[in-house]
Amino acid sequence: MKFRFDESAMADVDSIADYYALEDPCQAARFIEDLFYQARLYSLHPKLGYELADGYRQFLLKHFPYTAIYVIDPTDRKIIVVGVGHQSRRPDYWRGRIQEESAVYQLAA
């Protein structure tokens, strides 16, 4: 299975990487490496992630205190990362995104 990041998740990643880059550009690169390593791992084994509501799952980064929220898209055979957030700050921030996406999908249908 392949993986991709939606726009909201990419904005999260950019924001987090920018934060780390202020202190140490190498730390920002390590964050990106950790995230993409874990995303590749979970794309090989998509059901490894902890199951959340409505078919969404999460995986933890190995070296950073961040969680990625994803959904499995069986038609395109890929996982879609919808958010990346700090593990101890606003743990349910991504739920608002899901409701917004559902509304958009309903309008399109």
Tens of pLDDT, residues 32-64: 999 999 999 998 988 888 898 778 899 999 999
- Cβ atoms 38, 68 nearer than 8 A: yes
Structure letter (DSSP) for residue 89: S
Supply the pTM of this predicted model.
0.80
- Cβ atoms 62, 38 nearer than 8 A: yes
Tens of pLDDT, residues 4-29: 998 889 999 999 999 999 999 999 99
Q: How far apart are the first and last CA of the chain?
A: 26
Query: Phi and psi at residue 28, in whole multiples of 5°?
Result: -65, -40
61 half-sphere exposure, CB direction, 13 A CA radius? 20
* CATH of the domain spanning 2-108: 3.30.2310.20
* Phi-psi label, residue 33: left if phi above 0, alpha if psi -120 to 50, beta otherwise: alpha
